[in-house]
Amino acid sequence: MLVEEQTKATERIKWWQEAKFGMFIHWGLYATLAKGEWVMAASKIPVKEYEQFATQFNPKEFNAKEWVGVAKRAGMKYIVITAKHHDGFAMYHSKVEKFNIVDATPFGRDPMKELAEECQKQGIKLCFYYSHVIDWHHPHSVHEYYNNTWDYNLEEKAFYNYWHNLAKPQIQELLTQYGDIGLLWFDTAGGLSKKDSKELVEFVRSFQPNCLINSRVSHWPNIGDYQSKGDNEIPMYGEDSGPWETPMTLNQSWGYSDRDQVWKTPESIIRKMVNIVSKGGNLLLNVGPTAEGIIPEKSVEVLEQAGEWIERNGEAIYGTNASPFPYELEWGAVTIKPSRMYLHVNNEKWSDQLKLFGLKNKVVKAYLLADSEKRSLPITQSYTESIDHHVLGIDLPKDAPDQYISIIVLELEGNAQVDDQFMQQVSGSVNLDLVHAETAVEKNEKTAKWDFKITQPGAFDVVLVNFKKINTVWEDHYHEEVKVHIAGQGLKTIPQEDQLIKDSPACQYPYSEVHSILGRVHLHDSGNNSLALTCNKIQEKAFGTEIWQAEAVKLRSIKLVPIDKK
Ligand code: JFZ
């Protein structure tokens, strides 16, 4: 990219990177069936029959002011709403296709217009989701896999008929009828050529040069302004060098489903948001309103409660940068600003003293974000030259001052600088993430290697950490021995599902975190060590983020867990 283009791109995305938290809204004709947004394909509903649902679609309760108000109270800075999903039904007044909410329903209003006005009033950016490749209503849309083959003959489809007569004209409408649009969220681009993908980006820019475009606009890499991860996927520290987001469900569905009552708690939302923001990402959190136009009560309740925490702690969220540490911290997470570090401490890890290894700066002052008087907390800082080890200790009041996560502010001399090598944490464990390993392939064997520092020698369990997608048979993925070499000791074993964690800071439905204990090792001395893992799950390059591309079992990291510590 030219320097000038790069500068423009950096400027364009600034608001979004500062915003951190947005509302996703999956709302469409499918809400009338209350079985999620894929119902048309799942039940192979013929177009003629599906069109009939429009004649009864009358979301009288829709109230733009209330919806935008919910987003505001949740602490969200932008809204991304489905202007057209895979069913092809336009949720706005389209002039190029009658199958839209104004022309085809008794409702007759344009909710996108009402939202645009309300967003403007309440200071929220409005953004549109547009399914640009999958369209089950149009006879000529062609996706690699997900086509309407129950009405139409795939062989008779002429993609460019769809592309030039529906997709592009509708995208143009969205960019010209509703004022400034923050971003266009494209999805499931399977089969779209590189040329058409790039042209689409140019097409969008020709109407609104500052409108952001997510990576799902194309399957070709490096097109669009930022990376949308797979649904509900949270990456490892440092996995992404550019801007990224996690699109996340509040229950287990995007579009309204009357059967799905598995709601995340406000606590879980806060923890995931903090984890994501500490890794430099954004959280795009979904609600699925009903056919009446109501955001389910339970979603509103969870969002408002999460919003109260964010309101109190916004200083440590909005406009921050990612943690400089290349691993998960066992007590929580870190965000930074110039000359400042925020320690987000999980309340169950709250104790008399918090210790942090590896911060090189002098700490000028430490205080609780919850303390309006900013009273100094007693601190000690030490450095041991022989093992190049920095330790910060902060004395804490007896009780955690906030709900779920309490934040300590560190005022630093200069911008945060940390020892970025892997090291043992305070509890004695070592977390080695795959993305930071040196990898090599030899004789068909893939090996990952890490160097790390030990400050408290002892005996350790070696634990392999994978994320496993629901309904995946573990043995289909791990049926060969993996090998570990560390400090002259070797382990060789087939990983088992020893511990299954359904919800952790970075893991959630449809994944669970699987811990496999590979064996026990002894580290006798302080200082530098290295670990080598040989395992065929070590990927050279991450997959794309199309539905079918999400890896069923993803190797994340290997951990050393001390066994003599309680
Ligand atoms: C897509 C849509 O099909 C779905 O209806 C919803 O809109 C969602 C936000 O996006 O589905 C996907 C796309 C990618 C993955 C999973 C579901 N993925 O990479 O894991």
pLDDT tens, residue order, the chain (566 aa): 788 988 999 999 999 999 999 999 999 999 999 999 999 999 999 999 999 999 999 999 999 999 999 999 999 999 999 999 999 999 999 999 999 999 999 999 999 999 999 999 999 999 999 999 999 999 999 999 999 999 999 999 999 999 999 999 999 999 999 999 999 999 999 999 999 999 999 999 999 999 999 999 999 989 999 999 988 899 999 999 899 999 999 999 999 999 999 999 999 999 999 999 999 999 999 999 999 999 999 999 999 999 999 999 999 999 999 999 999 999 999 999 999 999 999 999 999 999 999 999 999 999 999 999 999 999 999 999 999 999 999 999 999 999 999 999 999 999 999 999 999 999 999 999 999 999 999 888 999 999 999 999 999 999 999 999 999 999 999 999 999 999 999 999 999 999 999 988 899 999 999 999 999 999 999 999 999 999 999 976 655 556 666 789 999 999 999 997 54
Of all atoms in ligand 1, which is nearest to the CA of residue 254? 6
Residue 503 has a pLDDT of 86
Among 188, 216, 248, residue to substitute to test ligand 1 (most atoms within 8 Å of Cβ): 188
Distance of CA 169 from the midpoint of ligand 1 (Å):
24
Q: Do the bridges between strand 445-454 and strand 422-423 make them parallel or antiparallel, or are there none, so unpaired?
A: parallel
Distance in angstroms (rounded) separating the CA atoms of residues 563 and 566: 8
The reply to whether the predicted model has a pTM over 0.75 is yes
Q: What b/e sequence results for 363-383 when a residue is b if at least 16 CB atoms lie within 10 Å of its CB, and e otherwise? A: beebbbbeeeeeeebebeeee
Minimum-distance ligand 1 atom for the alpha carbon of 38? 5
Distance 420 CA to ligand 1 centre (A): 35
For residue 91, how far is its CA from the centre of ligand 1 (angstroms)? 19
Is any atom of ligand 1 closer than 6 Å to the C-beta of 87? no
Q: Are 186 and 135 in contact (CB under 8 A)?
A: no
Identify the pLDDT of residue 231.
86
Closest Cα to atom 13 of ligand 1:
547
Nearest CA, atom 6, ligand 1: 254
- 475-482 contacts, C-beta under 8 A, 24 or more apart: 476/552, 477/537, 477/552, 477/553, 478/516, 478/537, 478/553, 480/536, 482/518, 482/533, 482/534, 482/535
Gap from CA of 23 to ligand 1 centroid (Å): 16
Q: Ligand 1: distance of its center to the CA of 462 in Å?
A: 34
Q: DSSP letter at 506?
A: T
**Residue 441's beta-bridge partner residues?**
446
Structure tokens at 4: 């000038």
Measured in whole angstroms, how far is the alpha carbon of residue 543 from the centre of its chain? 16
Ligand 1 pocket, residue 470 CB under 6 Å: no
CA 105 to ligand 1 center in whole angstroms: 27
Q: Evaluate: CB of 37 within 6 angstroms of ligand 1.
A: yes
Q: Ligand 1 within 6 A of 433 CB?
A: no
Distance 188 CA to ligand 1 centre (A): 7
CB of 218 within 6 A of ligand 1: the answer is no
pLDDT at 566: 44
Ligand 1 nearest-atom number relative to CA 544: 19
